[in-house]
Structure 1
Amino acid sequence: MRLITHLRHVDLAVPDYAKQLDFYTHTWGLRPEHTDSGLTFLAAEGSPEQYVVRLREAADKRIDLIAFGAATPADVDTLAQRIAAAGVRLVSEPGTLQTPGGGYGFRFFDNEGRTVEISADVAVRRHRAIEEGESIPVRLSHVVINSADPEGTLAFYSQHLSFALSDTLMHPRMGEMMWFLRVNAWHHSMAIARGPHPSLHHASFELRGLDEYMRGTGRVLRAGVEKIWGPGRHLAGNNTFSYFLDPSGNTMEYTTELEQIDEDTWHPHLYDFSNPEVSDQWGTANAMNEFVARRSFNDPDKGLFQAPPV
């Protein structure tokens, strides 16, 4: 039985904190809601989550945390007991959270050493409907991670957290390369990409609609940010994509219209991405090539099996 309800936030440690903060607020369109010394919690205007990205100043670049929600504290306790009994290493036992919005949660290391948090009863942030033409993120859509052992990582999230497989991308020469996982009716809240090392592949932000997505893509381009890939429309998930590099070299995506599926009748597809229409149904994006792939690998994550200090 699945007890996780949704994706909450992704927390990043970065050496160039001031540059990153400027990018996420002035260029990307997030709002700094809570700030401490070398620590900022960034909210999306349309999201009830207290924050969708947390930036922390650190010597080493890493994913600090990927956070998911559960419906009740009892569900948090059940998940903690379940994964501890399976031999998964807990970082913290269930308890009161000290982050904005409070709540009740716990943290653990996944199979490759990323820190994951599951929480319930976090206070809802005052948010608003994004207006027509507003090209800022509505919510955090999904997070994609690179894995040196993607089959093991897929098994971990499927077995311990009941993530469901929506679709898989494969290549005739390279085999299966990406797995899209869901925790609710959205086609994916997380995906796992085969990579040379564990790292962040990208984080994706949902915009209000096609017009706002294109306006946002154009605004970031005009700001001189390096575009990696897009604009286009994927087949898996049927969502649009424009990928950019943040100042630390993390890939960030603007998207919209991610598919919502009927979980009772859905059957996963195996898509061959050597077919150009799988990567981009529109044919408007630059070709998926070695350059795009290499940028997506990112730097090796330096925080594996080391819990973040906050």
Structure 2
Amino acid sequence: MTARPITHLRHVDLAVPDFDKQLAFYTTTWGLTQVADDNGIAFLAAEGSPEQYVVRLRRGEKRMDLISFGAANATDVDALAAQLIADGVQIVREPDKLDTPGGGYGFRFFDVDGRVVEVSSDVELRRHRKIEEREAIPVKLSHCVVNSPDPTRMRDWYAQHLGFRLSDTLVSPHMGDLMYFMRCNDWHHSFAIARGPHASLHHASFEMRGLEEWMRGTGKMLRAGARLTWGPGRHLAGDNTFSYFHDPHGNTIEYTTAIATIDEDTWHPGLHDVTDPLTQDQWGTSDPMSESVASTSFNDPDVLFTPPPV
């Protein structure tokens, strides 16, 4: 197994009670494309991404079913599974062929908080296309952030077991560390861990073609009546733009672009004080970060140490 077994973020899987409403929102409004369905399960692709799908929606009790990451090959998948078992990590599904779109080879396990993680390789690439200028739809899934009541434990667990590296930390003089930005490739972050009152999805972020398309997407969502919870603005950590919205079931989702890339030979993780207005928004165009703004992404407590039915 390579020293860093995870190559990238593949998809985020959500279950919701009002499946039809959620599906219509993510396709018609948000801009994803339904590529497959299977009896109350929809697989949604981003037009600019070679991933078979970036969001899976399932009809059921509200929860985040799983987070999926990629590995380089089946050998790395098997080696990672063997190492996790040796370390006492609870396996949900042993390595095997996948029956989801694009096939592949993978397995599932619980992280230290109890959410389900999937790691897979050899998934067939999807025929995708270049997103055109001014086309306000996602290019790909950018990153996923989760809430944890013990983010430091989560940070250390993902570093030890999955090889994630810390890029930067958001800190408060009064509350300590608030968010850890973690990377598995040269993107500043593909995953992040926020301090929250319970384990849940904080937000899923989708990359737009550029600043013009990001702003057009933000305006499109506002005109559609979607709830803007924070933004538009530009973060300091990661240097990426942000516009956060709620989907119909209260999950926070983000349009972003221009996320920084990391030079592994020169990068040193930084501490960014959230009381400095430039930390949260370099432009000053969004509402200031506050407890009320932060609470919009706490989400409902997730279903833990219980695998989804599919």
Q: TM over 0.5, yes or no?
A: yes
Matched, 1:38 2:40: yes
Equivalent-residue separation in structure 2 for 1:295 and 1:39 (angstroms): 27
1:92 counterpart residue number: 93
What CA distance in whole angstroms lies between the structure 1 residues aligned with 2:143 and 2:106? 20
3-state SS of the aligned residue for 1:212?
Answer: helix
Q: Secondary structure at the match of 1:296?
A: coil
Look up the SS of the partner of 2:286 in the other structure. coil
Q: Deviations over 1:210-243 (max 9, x none)?
A: 0000000000000000000000000000000000
Per the alignment, residue 309 of structure 1 pairs with 309
Tell me the alpha carbon deviations over residues 133-153 of structure 1, each in whole angstroms, 9 at most, x when there is no partner.
101000000000000111111
Aligned-residue offset at 1:129: 0.6
Shift of 1:96: 0.3
Q: Secondary structure of 2:215's match? A: helix
Identity of aligned residues (%): 67
- Please give the alpha-carbon distance, in whole angstroms, between the structure 1 residues aligned to 2:295 and 2:70: 32
Deviation at 1:286, TM superposition (A): 1.1
Q: Which amino acid aligns with 2:34?
A: P
Q: Deviation at 1:290?
A: 2.1
Q: Find the residue that maps to 1:297 and give its secondary structure.
A: coil
CA distance in 2, matches of 1:182, 1:16: 33
- Aligned to 1:78, the other structure's residue is in SS state helix
Is the partner of 2:226 in helix, strand or coil? coil
Return the alpha-carbon distance in structure 2 between the equivalents of residues 85 and 230 of structure 1: 44
- Within 5 Å, give how 1:79-228 maps onto structure 2: 79-228=80-229
User: In the alignment, which residue of structure 1 is the partner of 2:77?
Assistant: 76
- Segments of structure 1 that go 5 or more residues without pairing to the other structure are none
Question: What is the one-letter code of the residue matched to 1:212?
Answer: E
- Provide the aligned length of Structure 1 versus Structure 2: 308
| AA of the residue aligned to 1:279 | Q
What does residue 276 of structure 1 align with? 277
Aligned partner of 2:12 among 7, 10, 13: 10
Q: Distance in 2 between matches of 1:78 and 1:292?
A: 42
Deviation, 1:264, is 1.9
- For 1:224 and 1:86, how far apart are their aligned partners in 2? 48
Return the TM-score normalized by structure 2. Answer: 0.99
Alpha-carbon distance in 2 for matches of 1:145, 1:176:
15
Ranges of 4+ aligned residues in structure 1 off by more than 6 Å: none
AA at the equivalent of 2:4: R
- For residues 288 and 94 of structure 2, the distance between their equivalents in structure 1, rounded to whole angstroms, comes to 46
In the other structure, the counterpart of 2:28 is 26
Partners in 1 of 2:38 and 2:122 — Cα distance?
Answer: 23
1:237-252 alignment to 2 at 5 Å? 237-252=238-253
SS in 2 for 1:261: coil
State the superposition RMSD in angstroms: 0.6
CA distance in 2 between counterparts of 1:35 and 1:193 reads: 32
